[in-house]
Amino acid sequence: MCAHPAIKAFMCGSLSGTCSTLLFQPLDLDIGPTDHPAVDRVGMVTVLLSVVRTEKLPGLWKGVSPSFVRTIPGVGIYFSTYYSLKQHFFQDRSPGALGAVLLGGGARTVAGVFMLPVTVIKTRFECGRYSYSSVVGALRSVCQTEGTAALFSGLTATLLRDVPFSGIYVMFYSQTKASLPKGKISASPSAPLANFSCGILAGVLASLVTQPADMVKTHVQKYSWSFIIFSRSALSFWENGLQGYFRGAVPRALRRTMMAAMAWTVYEQMMAHIGLKS
């Protein structure tokens, strides 16, 4: 029996998420806000070199296990939801700019809410403030000490960041692809490069627009949720000027852009390979 197209989209998305995470995990090192202002000012290259010196090359993939736990099902859910929504509302038609925003935002909302507990654990796992030995152990510890609600800390900030990012990304990605010569987006050898280039262009703007929410979200998830912490985090960055919200913007934008571009490229190639229109 043939699998349902949405299940195939889930499998294609999961594999694309695996590839993008494995390749770009080193860019996911926590170099955002910390308890030490001096650390906040160091650059991405400095952090990467420091990790290599102290933890050797494998240290760049610290936290890859929780990343896989989050990304493999999370990206699968995202793409299967995206595919299902697109087939239901647009069928064989290409969505316009507004339709692309709604598709991307809707898919990210579903995936974001479903995978938020793992995202919280991943953020804490990498920040160094907690002595978690495993993802399962971290989940158990949070539930026992802070309650289940802590697993959904930063939900508002996460959705404020991820939903607009996905919507803006899909809009620019689809519109950029539509502007290319038809021969570039097909079964030709240049199709992956064209898709990846469109993804890079779409990701840069989407990452910069959503960077402030990303900073607040990461801070809230590190210290467990409360309205006071959320307010103080937002105010703290604001008091440091506009640049406070964009501290660490380059590595974060680089990682999100590269991972999104790679995920979409692999997803579209796999969907085309199995005969489904992405």
For 109-130, what is each residue's pLDDT tens digit? 999 999 888 878 777 766 667 7
At residue 227, the pLDDT reads 44
Mean pLDDT of 171-187: 77
Interval 35-88: pLDDT, tens: 334 344 455 566 667 767 777 777 677 767 767 877 899 999 999 999 999 999
Residue of higher predicted confidence among 262 and 92: 262
User: Confidence class of residue 34 from pLDDT cuts 50, 70 and 90?
Assistant: very low
Q: Examine residue 120 and state whether it is found in any structural domain, yes or no.
A: yes
Q: Examine residue 94 and state whether it is found in any structural domain, yes or no.
A: yes
Domain of residue 268: give its range: 5-273
> What CATH number is associated with residue 38?
1.50.40.10
- Nearest alpha-carbon partner for 166 in 196, 220, 205, 192: 205
Q: Examine residue 278 and state whether it is found in any structural domain, yes or no.
A: no
What's the burial of 116, exposed, middle or buried (CB within 10 Å: 0-12/13-18/19+)?
buried
Domain count, the chain: 1
* CA–CA gap between residue 83 and residue 275 (Å, rounded): 14
Neighbours of 37 (CB within 10 A): 9
Residue 183 has pLDDT above 60, yes or no: no
Q: Examine residue 54 and state whether it is found in any structural domain, yes or no.
A: yes
Q: What does the angle CA 130 – CA 49 – CA 224 come to, to the nearest 5 degrees?
A: 20
Q: Examine residue 24 and state whether it is found in any structural domain, yes or no.
A: yes
pTM above 0.85, yes or no: no
- Nearest alpha-carbon partner for 42 in 210, 251, 216: 251
Give the up-direction half-sphere exposure of residue 220: CA atoms within 13 A in the CB hemisphere: 28
- 117-131, 133-147, 195-209: least confidently modelled range: 117-131
Give the up-direction half-sphere exposure of residue 217: CA atoms within 13 A in the CB hemisphere: 22
* CA–CA gap between residue 1 and residue 263 (Å, rounded): 28
At residue 228, the pLDDT reads 46
